[in-house]
Structure 1
Amino acid sequence: MAGLSLKNVVKRYGAFEIIHGASLEVADGEFVVFVGPSGCGKSTLLRMIAGLEDISGGEIKIDGKTVNDVEPADRGIAMVFQSYALYPHLTVEQNLSFGLRMNGNPKADTNRRVRHVSDILQIKELMNRRPKQLSGGQRQRVAIGRAIVREPKVFLFDEPLSNLDAELRVQMRVEISKLHKTLGTTMIYVTHDQTEAMTLADKIVVLRSGNIEQIGAPLDLYDNPANQFVAGFVGSPKMNFIGAEVVEVNANGVLIALASQRDVRLTIPLQGAAPKIGDKVVLGVRPEHFLDAGKGDVDLMVAVDVAEHLGSTSYIYANIAGGEQIVIEREESRNASNRDTLTVALAARRSFLFDSAGNRLR
């Protein structure tokens, strides 16, 4: 096993810079997930760690050794891609052992490793099948097993579940989490799916446009996002953002009025620099943090657009007076239907506040 360190890592294509000085420390045995929208640079960063992309600046260390100029095969890493990339003419057993056999690994040790992997991934009964005889989930297990047999210092996963259907994705998330607990090896995992990030990671790295926006444990990012981008990216359904204006700044915090309903006012305690009266701000409320009418600091009446009833939970898509759409999560709220009006409550202690540039005020 090994830790990983990135220090001011930069990637340029000509004059165009796409990774802007990324720095990160990954502890030995940690499961770290890179998450962000398409084009944010997460896969490029992973490929630089693997050695599949040259770095334009900075330093990458694996197990305390600088690997900037080290060949991918010599970095002690194993990578699992979105594509299974299995050899169609080989059996599962032959696919698992192929890399070791090509490197001249002793036969007895190769057989031991393959047996060990088949036990861990519970694929003993598949060893004589070929890829075309496997389901998508089984093929992904074999692809992961091919990485495990190398006994690497660091595992790298590049959106490995993207080709699977919803049910298999959930199943494989559980399997990968169990695998990490069994092996205890450092793992770096790339996904655009924040649910995968929240359920798998010891630590999440949120990227946007080649910059690291925030690093932290999943619930730390959920409870204490650094800015509006992170707040909107972590959590499902995403956080609601409602336009507001600063009415007063006092010892208790900042009094805001919703831009669309000036009579709906809320005093928010501050943790950042105080805005000025008249400044435009954004109120952030997670769908699950709306309260029943009369149980918060101020009530808000909304018009229900669509109600999705999922059994124990309902998601209500509603519009406030100014036309802004919000999502409200309610338990056992089966009576809400289209064109209803609904009154909910806002609570300052469950709300976030951002300035017009998306910086966190509270």
Structure 2
Amino acid sequence: MAGVSLKNVVKRFGSIEVVHGASLEVEEGEFIVFVGPSGCGKSTLLRMIAGLEDISGGEIAIGGVAVNDVEPADRGIAMVFQSYALYPHMTVERNLSFGLRMNGNDKADTARRVAKAAQILRIEELLDRRPAQLSGGQRQRVAIGRAIVRDPQVFLFDEPLSNLDAELRVQMRVEIARLHAELGVTMIYVTHDQVEAMTLADRIVVLRAGRIEQIGKPLDLYDDPANQFVASFVGSPKMNFMAAEVASIEDGRVTVALVNQGSARLTVPAENGFAVGDRLTVGLRPEHFGREGEGDCDLSIRVDMAEHLGSTSYIHANTTSAEQLVIEREESRSEIGMEHLTVSIPAAKAYLFDASGARLR
């Protein structure tokens, strides 16, 4: 296995720059997940690591060796794509061994590698079948197996589960996590799925418009986002946001008025960066809303819909000014069937963001 280093990596298509000086250090054996909205550059960044896209500036190193000018086949990587890219006329065994056979690998070693990959992925009974005879999850296992037999230093995954149904996605997430634990190989994984990122990653890289917004462990990003974009993107359901204005500042504490909630006020500790009259945004995770009177500020909301998911329910609601909120509740279903509801905000759980989206502390 090997680490991966990106230093000020830039990608341009003609005059358009789509990746802007990305820098990242991936440790040996680490599981890194790239997340971000469509078009943010995550797949382009992965393809540059693989050598499938040339870089326009900066340096990419694998195992401490610069690979800017190294062919993809010589980088010690294996890539698993969203489309399984299996040869339909070949059996699973032939699909797994194809690359090794084309490289003139020894027959005995090829057979050993195929058998080992099949055992790891538990597809031994599928070796004589063709792709058309396999389910989506089985095809994805074969695609991963084709990467395993190459014995790469780094695995690259480009949204490998997006073609699977919900049940298979859960199953394959478990399989990929198990595979990483068993092989201990460096893995870099691209997804737009919050759950995949939060459950698989050692660290998450959040991208927006070709720039890295924040890098950190999943729960660190969830609990301590650097800005409003990260706060809104990490977590499902996402963080709630409400318009606010600084009403007063005194003794290291700032009081903000929720501008669409009449007299609602919230006082939080703050070090600097505030002036009376500043327009802010207050953020709160769905699970942090309390019942009426339990927090530091009450809100009156109109319930649109309640989703009951067993032990947890999600209330979809609007404030009096039509700010949309999602509130998590662990309670009986009958308690949240009402049209109107009063909830509270605990000041200790509130996040503040300025007009540019930067986090204020």
State the TM-score bracket (shorter-chain normalisation). Answer: over 0.9
Q: Who is 2:211 aligned against?
A: 211
Q: CA deviation at 1:339?
A: 5.8
Between the aligned partners of 1:245 and 1:340, the Cα distance in structure 2 is 28
The within-5 A match list for 1:120-269 is: 120-269=120-269
Between the aligned partners of 1:336 and 1:87, the Cα distance in structure 2 is 55
Q: Percent identity?
A: 72
Q: Who is 1:31 aligned against?
A: 31
Between the aligned partners of 1:189 and 1:90, the Cα distance in structure 2 is 27
Partner SS, residue 163 of structure 2: coil
Partner SS, residue 333 of structure 2: coil
For these two proteins, the number of residue pairs brought into alignment is 361
Between the aligned partners of 1:155 and 1:18, the Cα distance in structure 2 is 24
Between the aligned partners of 1:162 and 1:225, the Cα distance in structure 2 is 26
Over residues 30-84 of structure 1, what are the superposed CA-to-partner deviations in whole Å (9 max), with x where a residue is unaligned?
0000000000000000000000000000000000000000000000000000000
Q: Who is 1:6 aligned against?
A: 6
Between the aligned partners of 1:263 and 1:308, the Cα distance in structure 2 is 30
Q: Who is 1:312 aligned against?
A: 311
Q: Who is 1:335 aligned against?
A: 334
In the alignment, structure 2 segments of 5+ residues that lack a partner are none
Q: Who is 1:55 aligned against?
A: 55
Q: CA deviation at 1:86?
A: 0.4
Cα gap change, 1:161/1:191 in structure 2, threshold over 3 Å: closer, same or farther?
Answer: same
Q: Which moved more, 1:247-256 or 1:155-164?
A: 247-256
Partner SS, residue 190 of structure 2: strand
Cα gap change, 1:333/1:280 in structure 2, threshold over 3 Å: closer, same or farther?
Answer: farther
Q: Is the 8 A contact 1:306 1:337 kept in 2?
A: no
Amino acid across the alignment from 2:360: L
The within-5 A match list for 1:72-83 is: 72-83=72-83
Q: CA deviation at 1:151?
A: 0.2
Q: CA deviation at 1:336?
A: 4.5
Between the aligned partners of 2:194 and 2:317, the Cα distance in structure 1 is 24
Q: CA deviation at 1:295?
A: 1.4
Q: Which moved more, 1:300-309 or 1:48-57?
A: 300-309
Amino acid across the alignment from 2:334: N
Q: Who is 2:113 aligned against?
A: 113
Partner SS, residue 29 of structure 1: coil
Over residues 198-220 of structure 1, what are the superposed CA-to-partner deviations in whole Å (9 max), with x where a residue is unaligned?
00000100000000000000000
Over residues 162-203 of structure 1, what are the superposed CA-to-partner deviations in whole Å (9 max), with x where a residue is unaligned?
000001001000000000000000000000111110000001
Partner SS, residue 52 of structure 1: coil
Over residues 141-176 of structure 1, what are the superposed CA-to-partner deviations in whole Å (9 max), with x where a residue is unaligned?
000000000000000000000000001001000000
Between the aligned partners of 1:334 and 1:305, the Cα distance in structure 2 is 15
Between the aligned partners of 2:251 and 2:156, the Cα distance in structure 1 is 49
Q: CA deviation at 1:333?
A: 4.1
Cα gap change, 1:285/1:333 in structure 2, threshold over 3 Å: closer, same or farther?
Answer: farther
Q: Who is 1:351 aligned against?
A: 350
Partner SS, residue 360 of structure 2: coil
**TM-score relative to the length of structure 2:** 0.98
Between the aligned partners of 1:337 and 1:6, the Cα distance in structure 2 is 49
Between the aligned partners of 2:104 and 2:50, the Cα distance in structure 1 is 22
Amino acid across the alignment from 2:20: H
Q: CA deviation at 1:123?
A: 0.3
**TM-score relative to the length of structure 1:** 0.98
Q: What is the root-mean-square deviation in Å for CA atoms of aligned residues?
A: 1.0
Q: Who is 2:302 aligned against?
A: 303
Over residues 93-148 of structure 1, what are the superposed CA-to-partner deviations in whole Å (9 max), with x where a residue is unaligned?
11000000000000111011011001100001101000000000000000000000
Q: CA deviation at 1:259?
A: 0.9
Amino acid across the alignment from 1:298: C
Amino acid across the alignment from 1:213: E
Between the aligned partners of 1:61 and 1:337, the Cα distance in structure 2 is 54
Q: Is the 8 A contact 1:10 1:19 kept in 2?
A: yes
Partner SS, residue 235 of structure 1: coil
Q: CA deviation at 1:338?
A: 5.8
Q: Which moved more, 1:288-297 or 1:43-52?
A: 288-297
Between the aligned partners of 2:140 and 2:358, the Cα distance in structure 1 is 40
Partner SS, residue 101 of structure 1: helix
Between the aligned partners of 2:259 and 2:99, the Cα distance in structure 1 is 62
Q: CA deviation at 1:335?
A: 2.1
Q: Which moved more, 1:262-271 or 1:209-218?
A: 262-271
